[in-house]
Amino acid sequence: MLSKERNELLTQVGPGTPMGNLFRRYWLPIAAASELKDQWTKKVRLLGEDLVLYRDRRGKLGLIGDRCAHRGVSMTCGIPEHNGLRCPYHGWLYDGDGRCLEQPNEPDTSTFKDKVKIPGYKVQELGGLIFAYLGPEPAPLLPRYDLFVRKNVVRTIGYAVIPCNWLQIMENSLDPTHLEWLHGRYFQYVFEQNGRPQESWPISRHHQKIGFDVFEYGIIKRRVLEGQTEDCEDWVVGHPVVFPNMLRVGDYGAHSFQIRVPMDDTHTYHIWYTCFVPNEGVQVPEDYPISLYEAPLKDERGNFVTDYIDGQDMMSWVTQGEIADRTTERLGTSDKGIILYRQLLLQELAKVERGEDPMCVIRDEAKNDVIVLPQEENKYGVGDLLSGIAKDWNTRYALNIDEIIQICKGRMSQTV
């Protein structure tokens, strides 16, 4: 349980808020690179700001305020030009820094345009994602976390706009025991309703022990399930929550980042970034495309889609309320990871306020060639659990999921 003031401080991310300032120290993914291949603009809501991501005629990406400074028309409807984006209403042209370059209907001698500026932010592409940086200069490096740069894998990118605050989504990742309930017993109940056999489901073992350690890039989560001992990989290696907003999960056959990007206080852009790892000796075709898909929260009738793991998670996040009310929560000992994460958020916020870089702000090129994160692979002692149930995860919405599995098994490497 927290006080109301503390809940507000921890959840609010708009301009000028403490947590908003903390998030503005990080490169945040805002789109898949493929989204800007067949369209010129994408409307982006990020940390309470309305922005437009665009590609100019030279192919250069830009991220500027969505509202034209003249009379407020959405720049998402703008016209891409050689060196920027032009407002469709009266033709004002802006560059990637948000500087107004042209006002076609003002006198030739006018200097008015030099006084006009809208927000303009840095963008960079890595691993098929486009990242934005909204913070103070100098911008840090875009961290090259292992999955973004890993070779010989097949990637997929899933996304969802989740109508709730980012913090309750992150807290879910510090809450290992929900696995045996939400993705175990509850999943079996869904199977029961759908007439699918329940016994085969591998995730319902009881947690004997959970542990959390702060490390250089966040918090390592560990668990021991019934029937395991402390020398299992789930305990010895574990997997990390990368500060401030990314979960890494994986096994022999697939590794995944779940990135939670606060759009505003009540909406979160969620990305599932998955690398499927081929069997020993199998070469993935060069330039195999990264497929993009939406993971649905609800079906056509407005019911939560709960017959896949991420749909169950989303149901749990969203039904806590737009912003979970932590003044009425009743935490127990199994919630200690959540408390540790809250403390880490405030600790790193204190660094920002002292003028220091918080955790995971990287400026040393030598460190950034590839940042290898710890990851157990023999998951729950079952090995390639995730890839084995790729159709019970968000990845089932990738249109080419069957092909991906075939490629990774080595059955299609010649034909694709």
234 binds Fe ion per the rule CB under 5 A = no
Nearest 10 degrees: Cα torsion 398, 402, 408, 414:
-110
262 burial via Cβ count (<10 Å: 0-12, 13-18, 19+): buried
Least CB distance to Fe ion at residue 394 (A): 11
Instruction: Pick one of Fe ion, another protein, none as the site partner of residue 330 (Cβ within 5 to 8 A by kind).
Output: another protein
214 binds another protein per the rule CB under 8 A = no
Contact with another protein (CB under 8 A): which of 1, 161, 236, 399? 1
Q: Which of 118, 148, 110, 146 is nearest to 130 (CA)?
A: 148
Contact with another protein (CB under 8 A): which of 45, 70, 298, 336? 336
Q: Which of 21, 19, 43, 48 is nearest to 31 (CA)?
A: 43
| Segment near Fe ion (CB under 5 A); pick from 58-66, 199-207, 243-251, 311-319 | 311-319
Q: Decide if 228 contacts 120 (C-beta within 8 A).
A: no
- Number of other CB atoms surrounding residue 250 within 10 Å: 24
Least CB distance to another protein at residue 4 (A): 9
3-state secondary structure of 249: strand
Residues 257-296 that bind another protein (CB under 8 A): none
Neighbour order of strands in the sheet with 49-55: 27-32, 129-133, 120-126, 61-65, 49-55, 41-46
Least CB distance to Fe ion at residue 172 (A): 6
313 binds Fe ion per the rule CB under 5 A = yes
Closer residue to another protein, CB minimum distance, 10 or 44: 10
301 binds another protein per the rule CB under 8 A = no
CA terminus-to-terminus distance, the chain? 54
Q: Which of 83, 91, 39, 85 is nearest to 66 (CA)?
A: 85
Instruction: Pick one of another protein, Fe ion, none as the site partner of residue 328 (Cβ within 5 to 8 A by kind).
Output: another protein
| Segment near Fe ion (CB under 5 A); pick from 42-50, 306-314, 350-358, 369-377 | 306-314
Number of residues located near another protein, criterion CB under 8 A:
25
332 binds another protein per the rule CB under 8 A = yes
Measured in degrees and rounded to the nearest 5, phi and psi for residue 365 equal -55, -40
Residues 11-50 that bind another protein (CB under 8 A): 18
Measured in degrees and rounded to the nearest 5, phi and psi for residue 385 equal -65, -50
Q: Which of 145, 156, 144, 152 is nearest to 387 (CA)?
A: 156
Contact with another protein (CB under 8 A): which of 58, 226, 347, 372? 347
| Segment near Fe ion (CB under 5 A); pick from 66-74, 209-217, 307-315, 351-359 | 307-315
Closer residue to Fe ion, CB minimum distance, 135 or 238: 238
Cα–Cα dist 372/145, whole Å: 6
Instruction: Pick one of another protein, Fe ion, none as the site partner of residue 313 (Cβ within 5 to 8 A by kind).
Output: Fe ion
Contact with another protein (CB under 8 A): which of 71, 343, 357, 367? 343
Cα–Cα dist 123/323, whole Å: 29
Provide the binding-site residues for Fe ion, judged by CB under 5 A.
Answer: 313
